Structure 1
Amino acid sequence: MAKTEQTPSAKRLADYTPPAFTIKTVNLNIILEPAETLVTNTMKVVRVGEHSGALELDGESLTLESIQVNGRALAAQEFNCSESSLSVFTELNEFELTVVTKINPEKNTSLEGLYLSDGAYCTQCEAEGFRRITYFMDRPDVLATYTTRIEADKGFTYLLSNGNKVGQGELSNGKHFAEWHDPHPKPCYLFALVAGDFDLLEDSYTTAEGRNVALQLFVDRGNSHRGEFALEALKRSMAWDEQRFGLCYDLDIYMVVAVDFFNMGAMENKGLNVFNSKYVLAEPKSATDTDYHNIEAVIGHEYFHNWTGNRVTCRDWFQLSLKEGLTVFRDQEFSADMGSAAVNRLQNVRIIQTQQFAEDAGPMAHPIRPSEVIEMNNFYTVTVYNKGSEVIRMIHTLLGEQGFRKGMDLYFQRHDGQAVTCDDFVLAMQDATGVDLSQFKRWYSQSGTPELYITDDYDAGKGVYRLHVKQHTPATSDQREKLPQHIPLKVALYDPEGSELDISNSAAKENGVLHVTEFEQTFEFESISQKPLPALLLNFSAPVRCSYPYIDDQRAFLVSHAKDAFVKWDAMQALYADTVFKAEQSSTKPVVSETLANAFRDVLNDKELDKAIIAEILAVPAISTLVEKQHFTDIHALIDARDGLVTGIGEIHRDLIQSEYNNLQTGDYAYEAKDVALRALKACLLNFISATSGAENLNLVDSYNASDNMTEKLSMLAAANHWQLSERDTLLSMFEKTWRQDALVMDKWLSIQALSPKESAIQEIKAIFEHPVFSFTNPNRVRALIGTFAAANYRAFHNLDGTGYQLLADVVIKMNSINPQVAARIITPLTQWKRFDEKRQALMKEELTRIVNLDDLAKDLYEVVNKSLAQ
């Protein structure tokens, strides 16, 4: 958006009006050519209500070739075409509109709409990409049935679109065609087209209703063996959704296509999911345990959208969490059932406590249902997705599993085939169970992270224990005044011997849940014979910060005795964080207290705990987590204190850690829970060993060569890189030599380089721009290198000379003209300038100002940068 042009205007939820027309059917004929794809769009249009207004269609980067109504070409005065819209003036109430446009897929580096990348045509229409393919009412509350005919050269072996294939054949001009029909009305954001030459994996699944569904997975040539896990994960997803929610698939075919050029993780287009390759391709030698987990989760997520997003969709984009928050909850529940529920929960909590809490405290703070937006792509956020999931989880906590299922059943019964709102979802939950959720609905409209301040007292004479709870939500950049939320606070009480007390006759009689609904409340527990120690926010029962005046011995007690994995983990993390902050604030070496050292030892020696949970508890918080926990003075001092703590613990428990590390042996690689847990703990302990003088005995090169899987190899490479071990450069070279022809695997190499703590890190990153594997047009490469650098390399990014900020700004400026959506996402670390000291604030704002003064600043960046500078 040029500086001289009109300032982009915001869209507001309060301004929503129903569509003046609706579109019943869409017939697309798409003739694919790299520079001049011809799109013929024939629509049946119906006027809604009594009015005489024009039909307004959205369009972007289109060349209008012709326009007809009921087969008659329109005269110039009967329509108006601009850069962003097409107005059709007619008094007809029902008519057939045919619009022919040309588009240029090969120049579409934004990867929105229809684009040609890496030899394949692909579409991405959510949120507002369909307007880049043809003129249309590009809004989610216009639902139509689609029939699509695709013509292309025979080199594009597969021509794919939504629904069931209804025709295919050869053409006389050396081309071929395929026709697809989707019988389910859908919004245009769910339209999909893919044309390319792929390897095909095939399978089938018979639904609980008896439908035989053909499963097809399309991957780049030579990669079929790396798609087998994803195909099995799809079948597990289909079975799980039937068992948990009674939901069956509804077409005769389900297709997944893996592409390397993709802005998102994946897209749930009806019957034709398009995936970023990183969430499909896996084999032990090239994929980590985390990759396998993410593939299963994302495959599940997009499949679950078939009902929560496709069959029931959003009325408008402000309701995005209606489908995304709910579907994230569903994929998290699926992952929990497929693996360790506790480990999955801790990993989800970490995202909330770092990324989402940071978003609440930053310039882009917004509720899970935003009220105002300039560029909708900017609200595909951890708030809408992950906090949205936590809001669904709280509803589940309040209603219970049986009540939640009743609410889901009623939701689908009422709204199948409709475009609805978050309010419609909450009302179904309320009507199905009789539980009043009116106050709870504030979670949808109020931004920010609520803070709970909890104190207690004990009346020994009466045997009454009391918890005093205050809630406060700090002002956010978008809202100053906050109302009290309905917060389900799950608690447990422990006696001095470590036994959990029965509190079923108290205010927490409903599964230990206290209903915090006021600014200040007191909850009483009777028949308590001695003062207990409270365990708070069990299983992270609400996305809040929780403060209680624990002393270190009490935290260590919870680490040892609490039954809830989150409480154990949170107590240990607090012991770590306090030690780090004391060292940072005093500019001294961290002092590992006896309490902390003993807690570490006890957890590592615990034979009853899952080793994956041990790994989670023992891992020292990342800098990103520490930054969100407490005020700090100097980011580099914080980094030194954090690393010093790892070294200190490693030295104190060197023999114990080394012994346990040596005992953690697995056989041939298998992605199974027991082996995943062993590898997780082994990587955790390797980090402690690498921080000590014991690192010289690791022989990492030999261990790297002996390992049969990417999980172990990458953990060795990460440890050598972070602690600058002597084997670091050798390992990086070995990795690059093996995988330089596989760009997807090389993303891991790029991310390791991006995290280098070396003084020359920035110069080395700039040099990588010239590496054959790197490309600014591929979002995966940019995210792996620059996204990782800015978000996670706190030492280099926050150089006091400002070179880290300059590097990010340079890349953002370059990406502004290539792919503004990616630019708007990787810029986030610069927008968090208020977290740092005055000198760094000034340097960060200088770069933001440089960006905002661009003559051609895209809307995506305009919104983020302006909100940041105005904060």
Structure 2
Amino acid sequence: MRTETPPLIHLADYRPSDHLIDRVDLDVQLDPHRTRITAVLSLRPNPAGAAGAPLRLDGDDLRLVALDLDGAPPAPGSVTAGPQGLEIAEPPQRPFTLTVVTEIDPTANTKLMGLYRSSGVYCTQCEADGFRRITYFLDRPDVLSVYTTRIEAERDAAPVLLGNGNPVESGSVPGTDRHYAVWHDPHPKPAYLFALVGGRLGSVETTFRTMEGRDVRVAVLVEPGKEERAAYALDAVIRSMRWDEEAFGRPYDLDVFNVVAVSDFNMGAMENKGLNIFNDKYVLASPETATDADYAAIEAIIAHEYFHNWSGNRVTCRDWFQLCLKEGLTVFRDQEFSSDMRSRAVHRIGEVRALRARQFPEDAGPLRHPVRPTAYAEINNFYTATVYEKGAEIVRMLKTLLGSEAFRAGMDRYYAENDGRAATVEDFLAAFEAVSGRDLAAFAQWYARPGTPLLTASGRYDAAARRYDLTLKQSFDDGEPLVIPVALGLVGAGGALDGAVCPEVRDGVYVLGAREATIRFAEVPEPPVPSLLRGFSAPVRLQADLSEADHLRLLAHDTDPFNRWQAAQSVAHGLMRGGGLATAFAEALGLLLDREGARDPAFAALALAIPSEGEVANEMRAEVDPDAIHAARTALRRDLGRALRPRLDALWDALADAPGTPYSPDAAAAGRRALRNAALDLVAAGDPETGAVRAASQLAAATNMTDRLAALGTLALIPGEPREAALAAFAERYASEPLVLDKWFAVQAMIPEDGTLARIERLKAHPAFAMTNPNRVRALIGSFAFGNPTQFARADGAGFTLVADTVAALDTTNPQVAAKLLTAFGSWRRLKKSRGCQAEEILKRIKAIPSLSRDVADIAARSLAPVNHL
């Protein structure tokens, strides 16, 4: 039996639920294989729904044990029930109570959706539609209920029992070795925010006093023995709570806030009300096991999930088409938090690099979709960079258009008007229209139209009139022009031309609302170079008539740090495309290192970072040849490494920590390490022999994982016995540290050599690798598919086959992870024809697999379809 393309669900077909569930009382009897759930649902007809409609409850692989309606069995023949749903044809047309008893096997739940058991710990993941794997329910985000949950388990197996909300009661079950805990969440929520945890867990905790004067017990719970590694996560929670009060006026609203780390988790984390569940990768950290990037990710993701308490939980989304309303907004909020905690300029560069690396290719390929889709087949496949990162960029543009004061007022109004509701994008924008008096109908098109606009810019200087005319033009689809805030300025030979006058540019921003516009600057004393899209003020591609000399002027003199970095990237792109000499570029980078190496090492490290092979491919308009890109990038790095060698040597020596220096993940210390490791990387590119010696020396002397992993990564690119010895020693040292071994898997998966496929096959047999653990799969196969373009897109097709075989094997046990892996094929049409044809055949083979999951079938079908406009 062949799998058909999953049917589409359309935004236009939305209608309110015919029934509402005001209260949910759950009794969960935890057992490794026979967990029994009794759900008492207080239902009533929805006045906004269809009168007299049947009650249809969602299910997924459920076994119904018992059912009664208002305390009595339903009439014979009145109920239809199966593993995938339950229907009562003629439910009461008044409030009524339905009691449903189901039984599930948490240990056998390899999909890691619903209630499952991970390394002896019971936990849940219910977003987007996992609650239906626990009990029959109206599993949709616009049905909000108040939950009371009683959890019972064997005391020795699960001494810790956690639920949503506040603890109400706990105790022993008389005559047994079991105990129970009761949790009550007073805030109505959709089923996707339900959570439950039971197991053996250690904790670190503290008390936070809110702006309202209430004390909240805050705890981070982890595998026993790893409590010390949770200290940074706990600190990040406290800083997030304080920041949300100060920046958005949002206090926490329960008596407790718990974060639990589990080792088997499909996502990064989940914002369940009062009980956030995390992939342990984003909780556990120590200098010996975590890099600076890990610490920064923990800080950001802890903040993201906490901020969901308001942007997602107190105000949730009406339907899954509004997913950007909670995710895009919350990404913006966590980006602002991280910018305040660290270097705003450096963090912004990181945000844009991630957007361009993930979202721009998505927008250019068959998997593209609007930030608010109009249709989907499998909602799990729409947790995408478009929804998250581009969604955040839309919120950022809104703040740029309105200004900080009006933006904050709009956020306050949005929360006030929608607290306890399931909202829409229209509700969000209406709040800002109300406080600003501006019509945002044209701006709203950013949510509706897929693709990345092209912004072209050209300038003309009139020396006699001391005038500069700048023409901006947007190219997109056939629709109306978008509203594009263009932050800009003019840069002269010696610096910013602040005396230039242009009434249409307000607070450094010109709002382009037409297909084309020319703006005039007066009092311009010399031919300027325009600095465009400062801070990356809009998610567009920029094409400006700037020469290498113009970019080098911006690199030297622009006051906007993002555009200084962008200038270096633009020169590097040009050199790799044209194969020119890097002499002037090297001189400019050398001057930047002299000026910024000590003052802002994190920025200097970013300026040294040559665009990745993926970034180069994304900028190409011709067919992509991964081997040619790799050769061009290798040559540029080699030339820069040689030209900058004296400065790089000096930096590597000067930035070494003095003996006994304690490790700190703060931005300043992380910036120094970043620049030192960037210097090592370029030295090795210019002189592999010396680079190998220095990398081995750094690896031996390193006192933290950041320096150790950077040295290992440098060595991994230099074939020879030192590399293999270092890899073997690293694996031996961290044999009992799964999260560290993930780094080891990833380093090897990204080696751009013909032997990498054979290496991966050996690593799949390593005792630490398990196909059942999403982190292991992402580290080895995901790093290969998304981070090793020359080997993934090999001319012989073997790289495609490796990933496809993994997808097929995973699909039967964890279709979510399998589908995410399959998105690596999203840019197949842009490859050289022979390789693109191979990728197409692989996708067809995947699509033809019998009984394919909805998740993978959807990705395969969309990848093969013409570029769509979902």
1:782 and 2:777 aligned: yes
5+ long unaligned stretches in structure 1? 475-480, 584-590
Alignment of 1:561 onto 2:560:
no
Kept in 1, the 8 Å contact 2:696–2:715? The answer is no
Residues 501 and 523, structure 2, Cα contact 8 Å, conserved in 1: no
- The residue type paired with residue 622 of structure 1 is S
Shift of 1:327: 0.5
Q: Aligned pair 1:616/2:606, yes or no?
A: yes
Question: Aligned AA for 2:587?
Answer: N
Q: Give the corresponding residue for 1:856.
A: 851
Aligned partner of 2:523 in structure 1 is 527
1:358-377 per-residue CA deviation (whole Å, 9 max, x = no partner) reads 00011110111111000000
Deviation at 1:507, TM superposition (A): 1.0
> 2:495 aligns to what?
498
Q: Give the equivalent residue in structure 1 for 2:674.
A: 680
Aligned-pair CA distance for 1:34: 1.7
CA contact (8 A) 1:507 1:525 kept: no
The answer as to 2:216 corresponding to 1:221 is: no
AA matched with 1:701: A
Superposition deviation, residue 333 in structure 1: 0.4
Q: Which moved more, 1:487-496 or 1:314-323?
A: 487-496
What does residue 27 of structure 2 align with?
A: 29
Deviations 1:387-442 (A, max 9, x none): 00000000010111111100011111111110010110011011111122110000
Comparing 603-612 with 343-352, greater Cα deviation is found at: 603-612
Normalized against structure 1, the TM-score is what? 0.97
The match for 1:80 is 80
Cα deviation code 1:487-509 (max 9, x no counterpart) = 0001001223223323564211x
The alpha-carbon deviation at position 799 of structure 1 amounts to: 1.5
**Aligned equivalent of 1:729:** 724
Partner in structure 2 of residue 115 of structure 1? 116
User: What whole-Å deviation, never above 9, does each CA across 1:56-110 have from its counterpart, x for those lacking one?
Assistant: 1100010011111100111332111134221112233210111111111111111
Q: Is the 8 A contact 1:345 1:539 kept in 2?
A: yes
Match in the other structure for 1:169: 171
Shift of residue 196, structure 1, vs aligned partner:
0.7
Matches within 5 A, 1:222-261: 222-261=225-264
Q: Name which of 592, 598, 604 aligns with 2:593.
A: 604
Structure 2 contact 819–859 (Cα < 8 Å) conserved = yes
Greater shift in the superposed pair: 544-553 or 519-528: 519-528
SS at match of 1:538: coil
Could you report, residue by residue, the CA deviation over 1:305-364 in whole angstroms, capped at 9, with x for unpaired residues?
Answer: 000100000000000010111100000000000011011000000011121000001111
Equivalent position amino acid for 2:546 in 1: Y
> How far apart are residue 274 of structure 1 and its match?
0.1
Give the match's secondary structure for 1:71: coil
Candidates 583, 586, 589, aligned match of 1:594: 583
Q: Which residue of 1 aligns with 2:380?
A: 377
Give the distance between the partners of 2:44 and 2:469, measured in 1 at CA.
Answer: 63
Instruction: Provide, for residues 507-549 of structure 1, a one-character-per-residue CA deviation record: whole Å limited to 9, x for no partner.
Output: 11x2111111111111122232333210000000000001111
Q: What pairs up with 1:106-145 in 2 under 5 angstroms?
A: 106-145=107-146
Matched, 1:59 2:59: yes
Distance 1:197 1:504, change over 3 A: farther
Report if the CA contact (8 A) 2:501-2:521 is conserved: no
Instruction: Say which of 705, 712, 715 aligns to 1:710.
Output: 705
Bigger shift: residues 242-251 or 460-469:
460-469
TM-score under structure 2 length normalisation: 0.97
CA distance in 1, matches of 2:822, 2:595: 43
1:115 aligned counterpart, secondary structure: strand
637, 641, 664: which one pairs with 2:628? 637
Q: Distance in 2 between matches of 1:520 and 1:726?
A: 59
The AA in structure 1 aligned to 2:60 is E
1:40 corresponds in structure 2 to 38
Aligned to 1:316: 319
How many equivalent pairs are there?
855
Structure-1 separation of matches of 2:500 and 2:403: 18
Q: Is residue 342–residue 565 contact of structure 1 (8 Å, CA) maintained in 2?
A: yes
Inter-partner Cα distance in structure 1 for 2:382 and 2:860: 14
In 2, the alpha carbon distance for the partners of 1:357 and 1:768 equals 32
The aligned counterpart of 1:93 is 94
CA pair 504-124 structure 1, distance change in 2 beyond 3 A? farther
- The question of whether the paired residues in 1 share the 8 Å contact of 2:640 and 2:686 is answered with no
Q: CA deviation at 1:846?
A: 1.4
Shift of 1:632: 4.8
TM-superposed deviation, 1:461: 3.9
Tell me if structure 2 keeps the 8 A contact 1:691–1:723: no
Give the 4+ runs in structure 1 shifted more than 4 A: none
**Partners of 1:223 and 1:688 in 2: how far apart?**
36
> Do residues 183 (structure 1) and 158 (structure 2) align?
no
Q: Which runs of 5+ in 2 are unaligned?
A: none
Match of 2:444 among 422, 441, 445: 441
- In structure 1, distance between residues paired with 2:624 and 2:612: 17
Q: Is the contact made by 2:469 and 2:520 (CA closer than 8 Å) also made in structure 1?
A: yes
DSSP-derived class of the 1:563 partner: coil
1:653 aligned partner: 644
- Mean Cα displacement is larger for which, 512-521 or 809-818? 512-521
What residue in structure 1 maps to residue 578 of structure 2? 582
Asked if 2 retains the 8 angstrom alpha-carbon contact of 1:108 and 1:116, the reply is yes
Alpha-carbon shift at residue 483 of structure 1 (Å): 2.8
1:160 aligns with 2:157: no
Fraction of identical pairs, as percent: 42
1:388 to 387, 391, 413: 391
Tell me if 1:13 matches 2:11.
yes
1:477 matched to which residue of 2? none
- Residue 582 of structure 1 aligns to which amino acid in structure 2? G
Name 1:335's counterpart in structure 2. 338
Q: In the aligned structure 2, how far is the partner of 1:308 from the partner of 1:704? A: 43
Per-residue CA deviation, residues 534-566 of structure 1 (Å, 9 max, x unaligned), is 000000000000111111111100000001111
In the alignment, which residue of structure 2 is the partner of 1:103? 104
2:616 alignment partner in structure 1: 626
Please provide the CA RMSD for this pair: 1.4
Aligned equivalents of 1:497 and 1:819: distance in 2?
A: 58
Match of 1:366, SS?
coil
**Residue 299 (structure 1) aligned to one of 283, 298, 302:** 302
Contact 2:5–2:857 (8 Å) recurs in 1: no
Deviates more, 1:603-612 or 1:794-803: 603-612
Letter in 2 for 1:124: Q
Paired residues of 2:63 and 2:83 also in contact (CA < 8 A): no
In 1, the alpha carbon distance for the partners of 2:320 and 2:752 equals 41
**In 2, distance between residues paired with 1:690 and 1:104?**
53
Q: Secondary structure at the match of 1:257?
A: strand
Range moving further from structure 2, 329-338 or 766-775: 766-775
1:587 equivalent in structure 2: none
Alpha-carbon distance between aligned partners in 1 of 2:131 and 2:624, rounded to the nearest angstrom: 48
Aligned partners of 2:5 and 2:858 also within 8 Å: no
Deviation at 1:845, TM superposition (A): 1.1
When residues 7 and 578 of structure 1 are mapped into structure 2, their CA distance, relative to the original with a 3 A threshold, is closer
Q: Residue by residue, what CA displacement relative to the aligned partner does 1:8-30 show, whole Å, maximum 9, x if unpaired?
A: 21101111001111110000001
Alpha carbons 2:489, 2:531 under 8 Å: kept: yes
1:811 deviates by 0.1
Corresponding position: 1:416 with 2:419 = yes
Q: Work out whether 1:754 is the aligned partner of 2:753.
A: no
CA contact (8 A) 2:602 2:675 kept: yes
How far residue 758 of structure 1 moved from its aligned partner, in angstroms, is: 2.8
487-496 or 279-288: bigger deviation: 487-496
Q: Is the 8 A contact 2:493 2:553 kept in 1?
A: no
Superposed CA deviations along residues 229-263 of structure 1, whole A, max 9, x for unmatched, are: 00011100011011111110000000000001001
TM-aligned CA deviation for residue 664 of structure 1: 1.0
Give the Å deviation of 1:725. 5.7
Contact in 2 for aligned 1:503/1:512 (Cα 8 Å): no
